[in-house]
C-alpha cells in the first residue's frame, strides 16, 4: 500500500466516521497529560479484565491518566480514520495483519526499534518475536506482546464414543474417524469456513506438501499453480468431500465453531490459544491437543500446527511521540514480569515475551505450549499475504469449503483473490 493509497482509502473512512461519530477522533482533544491507548481489550476479548486491572494499577503507581479506546475487528479502520484527521491515539494494541502491515511504511506508526533499545527492553522479547515484527527494511513495527499457539483440539471422549481408538495422525485415519463420528450424529472437524479461522486451516492444509520457502512464495504472490500447492489443494478437497468438516462449514464462523466444540457437538477443532482458554473444564478434561494429520508424501514428517508471535503489539503513533515519556512508562509497566505473568495466569494468554509462568488454570493452553518434537510447524501466511488480498482470500475460503467445488475451482478462486494486488 502506498502513502497515496492509504490517504485515498482513508478519505472515505473519514467521511464515514464523521457520520458515525467515531470516538477515536476525539483522542487529540484529550488533556495533553492523558495517555490515549486504543485496543481490543476492554469488553469481552480474552484478557480484558486483566488488562483493565493493569491499567488501574498503572494509574495508581504513576499518577498518569490513561484513556482506553475500545474497538473490535474494525480497530484498524477506526485508527486509520483518526490518523488521517491527525487525532489518532498515542498507543495502539493490535495484531500485524492486513491493513496494519502498511502502517510503518506509510507513517501511520513509527519505528520503535530505537525506543526498545533505549529503554532496555530488548532482552524481554523472544528473538523469534522480534524477527516477526521487523519489516524488510529493519524497522520494528511495534513492541511485541501477545503470541499464540494454534494446534488441533481432539475430544477424546467423543472419539472413544465413536470407536476411534487413537487420535488421527494421517489423512486416512482422519477420514475413517469422520465416518465413525457421523454415524454417531457428531460433527468431525468444526471450522469457521466463512471467516479467518477457515482461512488459516485451509492455508495449513495446503502447506502439507510445501516447504516454508515454497509456502512464503505462494502466499506472497498468489501463485497456487506449483506442484506442492496443487497437491495441497487436492488433499483439502479430498478431506472435504469425504465429510471431514462439519456440515455447511462454508457458512460457519469462529463463534459457531467454538460453540460446536465446547458443547461437544463436534469432536475436533483447529483452535488458537484464546479458543483453547474458553473450553469448559469438563470438556478440557478429556481433550488433547496435537497437530493436523498428514498425507503420504508430505513435506513434513509430523502432524502440523501454526504459531505466531504477532497477535498483539504496542504500536506508537506520531501523536504518541509527543508524549514519549508517558509511553515509556506505560511500556515499561506492561513489560514487567509481574504484569506479563498476570496475563498468562489469569487470561491464559501466550506471550511474545520471556516468562517462566505457566497457564496452570488453562490446561489446554499449557499443553499447547509444551508441544515440541511431536509436531511440525507450518507458516502462518498473515505476514506475507498482501493487504489487498486478505478479505478476498476469506471469500475464497468460503467457496473452497463448499462441497462440490473442484480442486481446479479452489485454485482459481484463491488466485483470483490476488488480482487487485
In the chain, domain spans: 3-148+308-358, 150-307+368-416
Q: Which CATH superfamily is domain 3-148+308-358 in?
A: Periplasmic binding protein-like II (3.40.190.10)
Contact 295, 173 (CB under 8 A): no
Fold classification of 150-307+368-416 is D-Maltodextrin-Binding Protein; domain 2 (3.40.190)
Residue 148 has which C-alpha cell?
499464540
Do domains 3-148+308-358 and 150-307+368-416 share one topology? The answer is: yes
- Distance in Å from the first CA to the final CA of the chain: 9
User: What distance in Å separates the CA atoms of residue 168 and residue 178, rounded to the nearest whole number?
Assistant: 10
Return the half-sphere exposure (C-beta side, CA atoms, 13 A cut-off) of residue 342: 16
User: Quick one: 240 exposed, middle or buried, by C-beta within 10 A (0-12, 13-18, 19+)?
Assistant: buried
Tell me the pLDDT of the chain (421 aa) as tens digits.
444 444 344 444 433 333 333 445 455 555 778 999 999 998 888 899 999 999 999 999 999 999 999 998 899 999 999 999 999 999 999 999 989 999 999 999 999 999 999 999 999 999 999 999 999 999 999 999 999 999 999 999 999 999 999 999 999 999 999 999 999 999 999 999 999 999 999 999 999 999 999 999 999 999 999 999 999 999 999 999 999 999 999 999 999 999 999 999 999 999 999 999 999 999 999 999 999 999 999 999 999 999 999 999 999 999 999 999 999 999 999 999 999 999 999 999 999 999 999 888 999 999 999 998 899 999 999 999 998 999 999 999 999 999 999 999 999 999 999 997 7
- Cβ distance 173 to 242 under 8 Å? no
Amino acid at each position: 500500500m502506498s502513502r497515496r493509497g492509504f490517504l485515498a482509502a482513508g478519505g472515505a473512512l473519514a467521511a464515514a466516521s464523521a457520520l458515525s461519530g467515531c470516538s477515536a477522533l476525539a483522542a487529540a482533544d484529550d488533556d495533553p497529560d492523558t495517555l490515549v491507548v486504543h485496543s481490543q481489550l476492554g469488553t469481552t476479548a480474552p484478557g480484558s479484565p486483566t488488562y483493565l486491572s493493569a491499567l488501574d494499577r498503572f494509574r495508581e503507581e504513576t499518577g498518569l491518566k490513561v484513556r482506553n479506546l475500545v474497538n473490535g475487528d474494525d480497530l484498524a479502520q477506526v485508527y486509520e480514520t483518526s490518523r488521517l484527521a491527525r487525532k489518532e491515539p498515542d498507543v495502539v494494541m493490535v495484531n500485524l495483519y492486513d491493513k496494519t502491515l502498511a502502517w510503518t511504511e506509510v507513517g501511520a506508526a513509527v519505528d520503535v526499534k530505537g525506543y526498545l533499545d533505549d529503554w532496555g527492553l530488548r532482552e524481554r522479547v523472544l528473538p523469534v518475536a522480534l524477527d516477526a515484527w521487523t519489516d524488510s527494511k529493519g524497522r520494528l513495527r511495534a513492541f511485541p506482546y501477545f503470541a499464540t499457539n494454534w494446534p488441533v483440539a481432539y475430544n477424546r471422549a467423543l472419539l472413544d464414543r465413536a470407536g476411534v481408538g487413537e487420535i488421527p495422525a494421517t489423512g486416512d485415519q482422519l477420514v475413517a474417524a469422520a465416518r465413525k463420528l457421523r454415524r454417531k450424529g457428531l460433527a468431525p472437524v468444526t471450522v469457521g469456513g466463512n471467516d479467518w479461522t477457515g482461512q488459516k486451516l485451509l492455508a495449513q492444509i495446503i502447506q502439507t506438501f510445501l516447504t516454508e520457502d515454497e509456502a512464503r512464495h505462494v502466499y506472497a504472490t498468489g501463485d497456487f499453480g506449483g506442484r506442492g500447492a496443487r497437491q495441497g489443494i487436492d488433499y483439502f478437497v479430498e478431506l472435504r468431500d469425504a465429510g471431514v468438516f462439519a456440515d455447511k462449514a462454508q457458512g460457519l464462523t469462529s463463534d459457531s465453531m467454538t460453540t460446536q466444540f465446547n458443547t461437544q457437538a463436534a469432536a475436533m477443532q483447529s483452535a488458537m490459544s484464546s479458543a483453547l482458554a474458553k473450553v469448559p473444564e469438563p470438556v478440557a478434561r478429556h481433550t488433547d491437543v496435537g497437530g493436523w494429520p498428514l498425507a503420504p508424501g508430505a513435506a513434513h514428517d509430523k502432524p502440523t500446527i501454526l504459531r505466531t508471535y504477532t497477535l498483539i503489539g504496542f504500536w506508537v503513533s506520531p501523536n504518541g511521540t509527543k508524549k514519549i515519556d508517558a509511553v515509556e512508562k506505560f511500556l515499561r509497566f506492561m513489560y514487567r514480569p509481574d504484569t506479563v505473568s498476570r496475563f498468562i495466569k489469569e487470561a491464559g494468554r501466550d506471550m511474545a515475551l520471556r516468562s517462566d509462568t505457566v497457564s496452570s488454570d488453562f490446561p489446554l493452553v499449557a499443553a499447547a505450549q509444551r508441544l515440541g518434537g511431536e509436531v511440525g510447524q507450518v507458516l502462518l501466511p498473515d505476514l506475507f499475504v498482501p493487504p489487498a488480498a486478505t478479505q478476498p482470500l476469506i471469500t475464497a475460503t468460503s467457496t473452497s469449503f463448499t462441497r462440490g467445488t473442484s480442486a481446479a475451482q479452489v485454485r482459481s478462486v484463491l488466485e483470483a483473490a490476488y488480482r487487485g494486488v
